[in-house]
Amino acid sequence: MTKNETWNIDDLIALTETVQTGEVDYQGKKLLFQYCELTEGEEPKLELPPESASEDVKNEVYQKVGLARIKTMVDKANKKNPDGATITLDNWDMLPSTVRWGISQAVLGGGSPNFRDVDDTVA
């Protein structure tokens, strides 16, 4: 393992104060966005389902947790860099769900998803 493959603890901690950028390709165009990593104290506090809950209920709760986390990460970056804000808490719910999913995947999954052109005329 080389030095580039390991984290320096100071650099890792600094990520919680660093505005990072991402992009999502959608219908031939890019949407740029920004976010910040969260510390444990900044993580959204949501109640988790009991162990006895059905898988559907658990999945629904985990989706809400993930969504709250993404919104918090974007909002933190927007407060640190207001001039770079493209996605806000006010416009998040108005974005196409495919774009929101792509942003979530890019932030939580560490990738930059590309989406094929969508034919909006198909029902």
Domain borders along the chain are 3-108
3 pLDDT tier (thresholds 50, 70, 90): low
Torsion of CA 48, 22, 36, 72, to 10 degrees: -40
Geometric angle at alpha carbon 17, from 74 and 67, rounded to 5°:
25
Burial of 75 (0-12, 13-18, 19+ CB in 10 A): middle
- pLDDT of 41-93, one tens digit each? 999 988 888 889 999 988 888 889 899 999 999 999 999 999 999 999 999 99
pLDDT at 48: 84
Q: Which of 107, 91, 112 is nearest to 37 (CA)?
A: 107
